[in-house]
Structures are given as structure tokens and as C-alpha cells.
Structure 1
């Protein structure tokens, strides 16, 4: 096996003193793979109303198009370190890329919700391996003094993916067809396979490790995280524990987490080392990662939905608004390595979280007349806060534990971010129904049908519209619209409160080591 091959298998192995062209090709391939995988998380958001209509899915069912991807990705990310040891880095990435592209074609050809969910889940399972392994490539193929550049590339692609997704998906939907939001992955997949073949050496597979795998933990991850997300997603619609389905899924979730914890004690090498969460710094990093994931994926879902429902924006127009948060990322990109070296992590993360909280707070004053312009200030702030918090926390995740556990640490952190996204989408589906019902009832209570003013207003409206029934329908639509606006304000308020709640955890962070370099991680 080549030295590079050995390095890629061993967390903490020293990378070469000077990166050659092949190394940079590998780094670019890793970043491109991570970008493709994160892009597809949100590429359906702005096109979701169109997709739902064409495949016959309701609004609630449509959230599964986004959630199924995240659920599958959450499960595979912590497994990436183990899969890399078994298959070798290049083989794993080649398999993941080819299958990701194939499942993208399944999504693009979907004619019903079941086919779409299968394709999206397949995308998540395979795309999940492309995100964390990008960090391994950076750590093992670049020298320490160049690793902050690789970190910046990875951080920005991970942030820009969810931001560019709605824009690209919206443009393709409006200009060609939503199917091409998935067909787009075919040329990208071919390019990625070529780069991986040129930039990474082949390593011999260790299939014998399959027999020594933590199968309890693997089964526990799938059952626990999958079951939890389904319970959160379907709970409101099924009336929670009044439904036998929710009770059964809750039991599956508990069983899954039980198996995962059992694997921590019974397996020589657990699939995911939950003990790392007991470390004060790493546990804080993981929890803040969950909240950042909620903000990144939650807002990239909420904003297109608001603009479509309230401002009658099409997919492309909504995507342009979401893209605004990517502008600060592009501006800060050249300075990110310097920030990592010279700015105290506690200051950077605290500033990032504070800016994120303010950005969400600004969006709590939306009205029925709000358009994309109402989101300009908040989106620019959101992009700035996200890159400050995410890039530093990503570095802290692998710097806060021993180098031999760096792969596990990075896997947990990336999974935490996606768990946050999954929780956000599930919570939005639940809270949107609850708060919309509540606000509708409150508006109805203030609308006294026996009031002289109300009667005069309805009479004038009926005269203008030519029909009392038309007047009543218009009033009902107006009430529903206002209730929905108030619901969106509530959701942004909850995101702001969630960010503020984890801000004190910044005090548990320790300064990054001088001359910081990445540990090999997932």
C-alpha cells in the first residue's frame, strides 16, 4: 500500500510536506462531492410546490421529499469512517458517487411520491459519504500550513450548497423542468469520478472488518434516528400517541437507541463513539452544530415556502432570495484561513451565533405584504453568522479530541448538523399546523359577525364583488393568509430563541492550538 493510502486510513497521520497537483485535484474532488451532496438537500425546496403537484403529493407528504434525504444522510455520515476503513477511501467515494448519480436519475424520472422518496433516500445514503470524507482528503493530502485553505473550501461549499440549491432548483424548474434539478448530477458525477481516479491512490479493501463491525450500533443508528424523524414528521398528522403507528415507531426508536448504546459497551470499536459527547468542549460543539443545522436548513425551507404562499413568487424568484445569504460566504472566503489562525474561537462563534439570532429575529415582523425585499437584510446577516460559526466549530470538532478519535468526532459533528436540519423540517411541519390553527381561531374570535362594522364591511365588499358568497370567500382567504403569516413569524422567533439558548456554551470552548492543522476526520 502507498504511503498516501496508509495516511488516508489513519487519523492523525502526518500529511506530505508539499501538496502536489494530484493532492489538489483530490481536495477539489472532495469539495465538489460535498457541494453536490449538500446542494441536493435543498435543491427541491423552491420547486417543491411544482413537484408535489406533478407527483400527486399533499403539502404534508411533500416535506418527505426533503426529510427522507436528511434521514438517510444522518444515518450514513457516522458510518463513513468505518466504511472508509473497510473499502478504502477512493473505492468508497467512487461507489458513493456512482450510486448517488443513479439515485438522482431515479428522482428525475419519478412519477409518484413513493418513487421520489426511494430516490431521495438513496441520494441521502450515498451523498452522506461524500460530505465527511472531504475532511479526510484535506487532512491527509495537504500539509499543515495549507490545510486552513482546504478547511475554508469545505466550509464554504457546505454552506453554499443549501443556499444555492433553491436558486438552481428554481431556475431549472421555471426555465426547463424540475426533473433537471436531478439530471444535473449526471455531468457533475462524471467529472467527480474522473477527479477521484486522478487524485486519490487505490487502497486494498479490508473486507474482514465486516465481521468485526459494530452491527448493534449500525442497526441502532438506522432504527433510532430513522424512527425518531418519522415520529416527529408524522406525529401531528396522526394525533401523536392516539395513533398505533406512532406508538410502534416510538418503540422502534427506543429499541434503536438501546442497540446503539449497547454497542458502546459490547463492541471493541463502536460505530460511533458517543463517549466523546461527554467531553465538555466537544459536547458543546455538537449541540451548537445541531442548532446551526436547524437554521441553515430550516430557513432555506421556510423562506421559499413563505414567498410562494404569501407573495406568489415562483421557484426562481424564491431561489434568488435564498441565494442572498451566500454573498457574505463568497466575500469572507479569502479571509477564512486567516480568521482561523488569528481570531479566538470563542469570539468568532459567539459573534456568529449572535448575528444568526438577529437575522431570525428580523424575520419575526413579516406581514401579508412582505416580499423578497423583506429578507435582504436578514439573509445577508444569516450568511455572515453562518460562516463565522460553522467554519470555527467544524475546526473545533476535530481539534477538541485525541487525533485517533478525530474521525469519530467529525462524523458526529456533521451528523449533528444534519440532525438539526431534520429536526427543523419535522418541527416546521408540526408547528405550522398547530400555530396556523391557533392563529386562525384567534382571528375568528375578533371577527364578530353581529358587529355593525363587520356587517357594513361585508355588505360593501359584497356589492363590490357582486356576490355575498364571494365576499365571504375573500374574507376567509384573508384570514387564512394572515394566520399563515403569523405562523411563519412564530417559526422564525423559535429559531432565534434556540440560537440564544445555546450561546452560553461558547464559554466551554478552548482556543484552537497554535499553528492549527486538521486531524483526519469525518
Structure 2
């Protein structure tokens, strides 16, 4: 009895629960991250209407998305430094106000230049709210409540890109594309109120601004922004056949060289690459880069298949995409307990395996596949993303000290976004080249003098002849339909290969995930 009393006396006291103010701060951080991630993709469904009203071509319209991503990825690793200079509350409130201003500017814009400028401003302000949200959770919640906070944050970051196209498509169809931007006003007002209530004011430390690693800052801005444009626009510009892509690649290389020099020369480098010496943290960064590539690539491939092969409009395709968000809501009540109770390596490994399976299920798609053929893979993919991403969020924070949380969050979110951009670029190259390859092979295999081809062509021509009454036109229409069939089959084969490559890449990360070592948080009793 005495021994039990002594043991209880010597056991470390459990930290007090977070206060109401702490939870208000966590809510503000998660809401800011949701707002920022939602606006990454909310314009995707509305691009045709936006391009039509501002007089932009399809190629020019891609800069509406690229501008946002370019500025967002630059500010993410700078957020830790900017927070230390201006104070967390002041910095985030200014970013929320700027985000609102640039959103309104985009909504009222009538020119391509104005829209791109507004999206760049949006990306800069929104990007700052992603890593700072994660930092708030890490610094304001006790260890035993950290799984709850990280789960909430992870769900917002995961659901934002999924909800964006659906919400954007609905607003465009039922109101106007301008509401994709005007919608941010009431949300931003609520965000500012939460930030004011939940965060304490901090003094300015302008000496950090003037003594900063400016070589690294300039290099990081030039390197990341140029690299993002190269990855986003490279395939459309035919890579190094374009002088723009060539010079941006050179600028990106110079920028990263400046960052390396800053690491060696500066007393406090702008980005703490020394965190990568931590093997556990480095493993998390590598895994989240591949998972980011998988998530972004799926968000590109699936709508492309549904639009180009199945003929779905943006809203219909969005509803299929949103299926992968359902497991997030189903797991929400139990996810913190899972993260607290089981080691991250097992949850992440199971998530990666399920993600791989979901990709392999889509390998066998055919030209006759429709929306319901994706239900199974999308539901599995939803569980996979939650099980892979949520523990990684916590593992990234558990692997570092509290004072390193801001820098670690910046690197983590930069790695996820950069991995997504690299994945999209590689998938774009794969789809483009393999589609041409399969199209050529199929055309060679179709023998115009073959009995089967002749019978098919005759049947199609007869059908068109009854409609048009012109034999020459009917023959041309039958040839055109044959060409379209070949192109569609080539596209289906290409998408199948792309899903296979993604599945294998995710499978290759499982051994790395099994090496993760994270301390089990105190907390939820059995």
C-alpha cells in the first residue's frame, strides 16, 4: 500500500487542460488554414466563366491558380520569422485583413492582370495562415490534448482542397463566380474576431527584421516562386523549349544557392534546414512530400477522367471528389483517440497501404466507367488520407522541441505543397507522353482494310447517312468517330498507368513509415 502511494506520489502530474482562450486560438488557427487551403482550388471549377468575363485564353487562365500557389509556397517557410518579428496576433490579423482585401479585389476584377495580382496577394496572405495554425496548436495545447488539435487542423487542411471545386462549382452555377471571392468576407471577419480574442498581443521585434538572413530570404523567394512556375507551367510550355521556363529554372537554381550560402553565413538562417538532421523529422518530410504528390495528383487525374471520358460537368465531378471527404467526418470522433493510442508508424503505414489499394482499384477503368465506379476507391482513399496525414501532422510536431515548432511547421507545409507541385508536374509529363504513345500504337493496330473495321465503319456511316442524308458527310463522320474512339481509349489507358505509378510510389513509402519513432502522447486512458 505504501509502495503504491509512493509510486503515485512520484508519478508526473498530468498537465492541466487547455483553457477556453486556448481553444479559441486553436479554432482561429484551424479556420485560417481552412480558408487558405479552400481558396487554392475554389476557382478551378469557375475558370471557364472567369476567363470568359476577363478576356483570358485557356493558357493565360492557368495563371489564376499558379499565381496563388507561387506566392503561397514562398510565404509558408517565412511565416516563422515574420511571426517572431511582428508578433503572432498582429501578424495573423494583418494577414487576415489582407486576405479579405485581395479576395474582394479578385471578385471585382475585370482584367487578367488584376485577377493575377489579386490571386498573388491572396496566396501570400493565405499561405501565412497555414503553418501558423499548426504552430498555435503545438504551443497552446498540452501534450495529452495535442491529438485533438492536430486532428482538427489536419481535417481542415485535407477538406479544404476537396471542398473548393465543389463549392466553387455550386456558386458559379447558382450565383456568380465572383462569390467564390466575396464568400471570404464574413469568414474573415469571424477569423479576425477569434484571433483578437484567443491570442495575446506581443511586442514588435524590429531588430530581427533588420538583422535577418536577407540573402536567404531573397534566395528563398526567387527559388521557390520560380520553381513553382516551372512545375505548374512547364508541361504547357513544352519545358525547356520555352525561354521563360529555361530562365526561371536558372533563377530557381541561383535562388537555392543563395539559401545554402545563407545557411552557412547567417547566425539565424531564414529556414532551419538543420532540422533535417533529425532523422525522424526528415522521414516525416519525405513521406508527406510523396503523400502530397498523391493527393494533388488524384485531385487532377480524377476530374480529368470524369470530364474528358465520362462527360461530367464540374459540379458532377466535384460530387465524386467529395466522397473521399466522408471518412474524415466518420473518423472525427475517434481519430484523436487513435492518434493518442497507437504509434504513428502503424497508422501511417496502414494509410499508405490503403492509398495504394485505392489507386490500384482505378487502374482497371474503362471508357464505359462512370461516377459510381469510383465510389469504392474514393471511400478507401478518404480513409487512407486521414490515416496517413493526421499522424504525420502530429509526428512532425512531436519530433521537434516546442521552440522549434514554428520553423518545423513551415518546412512541413512547404514540403507537402512542393511535393504536390512536383507530383502534378511528373503526372502531367506522364499523361502527355503516354497518351501520344498509346494513340499512335492504337492507330497502327487498326487496319483500315480489316473486315471488322470495315463492318464497323459501314454500320456507323449508315447510321449517320440516315440522319444527314449526305453519303460523303456520313463517311467523314464515321472516320471522325473512329478517331475519337481511339483517342478516348488511349486516354483511358494512360490514366490507368498514372494510377498505377501513384500506387507504387505510395507503396514504396511504407518501409520508411515503419521506421518512424514518435513518443506516445500522454493522455486518453484505456
Question: Same fold per TM (> 0.5)?
Answer: yes
**Displacement of 1:62:** 4.4
Question: 219-228 or 27-36: which moved more?
Answer: 219-228
**Displacement of 1:315:** 2.0
* Length-normalised TM-score, structure 1: 0.91
**Displacement of 1:57:** 4.7
**Displacement of 1:163:** 1.6
* Greater RCO structure (CA 8 Å; 6+ sep): 1
Structure 2: 5+ residue stretches without partners: 1-13, 466-473
Match of 1:76 in 2: 75
Match of 1:128 in 2: 127
Q: Is the 8 A contact 2:132 2:406 kept in 1?
A: no
**Displacement of 1:116:** 3.1
Match of 2:216 in 1: 217
Question: 245-254 or 134-143: which moved more?
Answer: 134-143
Could you say if the C-alpha distance between residues 66 and 495 of structure 1 is closer, same or farther in structure 2, counting changes exceeding 3 Å?
farther
Could you say if the C-alpha distance between residues 233 and 337 of structure 1 is closer, same or farther in structure 2, counting changes exceeding 3 Å?
closer
Alpha-carbon distance between aligned partners in 2 of 1:210 and 1:204, rounded to the nearest angstrom: 13
Match of 1:490 in 2: 497
Match of 2:86 in 1: 87
The reply to whether residue 506 of structure 1 matches residue 513 of structure 2 is yes
Match of 1:8 in 2: none
Match of 2:428 in 1: 429
Q: Is the 8 A contact 1:29 1:195 kept in 2?
A: yes
CA RMSD of aligned residues (A): 2.2
Q: Is the 8 A contact 1:23 1:142 kept in 2?
A: yes
* TM-superposition CA deviations, 1:438-482 (whole Å, max 9, x none): 222122111222334323322221121121111122222222222
Q: Is the 8 A contact 1:232 1:430 kept in 2?
A: no
Match of 2:195 in 1: 196
Alpha-carbon distance between aligned partners in 2 of 1:115 and 1:301, rounded to the nearest angstrom: 26
The reply to whether residue 473 of structure 1 matches residue 480 of structure 2 is yes
**Displacement of 1:516:** 7.6
Match of 1:261 in 2: 260
Alpha-carbon distance between aligned partners in 2 of 1:369 and 1:180, rounded to the nearest angstrom: 35
Match of 1:382 in 2: 381
Match of 1:146 in 2: 145
Could you say if the C-alpha distance between residues 397 and 86 of structure 1 is closer, same or farther in structure 2, counting changes exceeding 3 Å?
same
Match of 1:235 in 2: 234
* Length-normalised TM-score, structure 2: 0.90
**Displacement of 1:249:** 1.6
Could you say if the C-alpha distance between residues 71 and 516 of structure 1 is closer, same or farther in structure 2, counting changes exceeding 3 Å?
farther
**Displacement of 1:281:** 1.4
Match of 1:330 in 2: 329
Match of 2:297 in 1: 298
Alpha-carbon distance between aligned partners in 1 of 2:480 and 2:411, rounded to the nearest angstrom: 51
Q: Is the 8 A contact 1:135 1:151 kept in 2?
A: yes
Structure 1: 5+ residue stretches without partners: 1-14, 518-522
Alpha-carbon distance between aligned partners in 1 of 2:54 and 2:439, rounded to the nearest angstrom: 30
Q: Is the 8 A contact 1:67 1:422 kept in 2?
A: no
Match of 1:12 in 2: none
Q: Is the 8 A contact 2:68 2:122 kept in 1?
A: yes
Q: Which of structures 1 and 2 has the bigger CA Rg? A: 2
SS in 2 for 1:364: coil
Could you say if the C-alpha distance between residues 423 and 111 of structure 1 is closer, same or farther in structure 2, counting changes exceeding 3 Å?
farther
Q: Is the 8 A contact 2:135 2:409 kept in 1?
A: no
Question: 377-386 or 488-497: which moved more?
Answer: 488-497
Could you say if the C-alpha distance between residues 118 and 216 of structure 1 is closer, same or farther in structure 2, counting changes exceeding 3 Å?
same
Q: Is the 8 A contact 2:138 2:405 kept in 1?
A: no
* TM-superposition CA deviations, 1:191-229 (whole Å, max 9, x none): 111211222222121122111111111112122122222
Match of 2:441 in 1: 442
Match of 2:469 in 1: none
Match of 2:344 in 1: 345
Q: Is the 8 A contact 1:276 1:409 kept in 2?
A: yes
SS in 1 for 2:235: coil
Alpha-carbon distance between aligned partners in 1 of 2:319 and 2:295, rounded to the nearest angstrom: 16
Q: Is the 8 A contact 1:84 1:92 kept in 2?
A: yes
- Counting matched residue pairs gives 503
Q: Is the 8 A contact 2:155 2:386 kept in 1?
A: yes
Alpha-carbon distance between aligned partners in 1 of 2:453 and 2:56, rounded to the nearest angstrom: 38
Match of 2:468 in 1: none
Alpha-carbon distance between aligned partners in 2 of 1:247 and 1:43, rounded to the nearest angstrom: 30
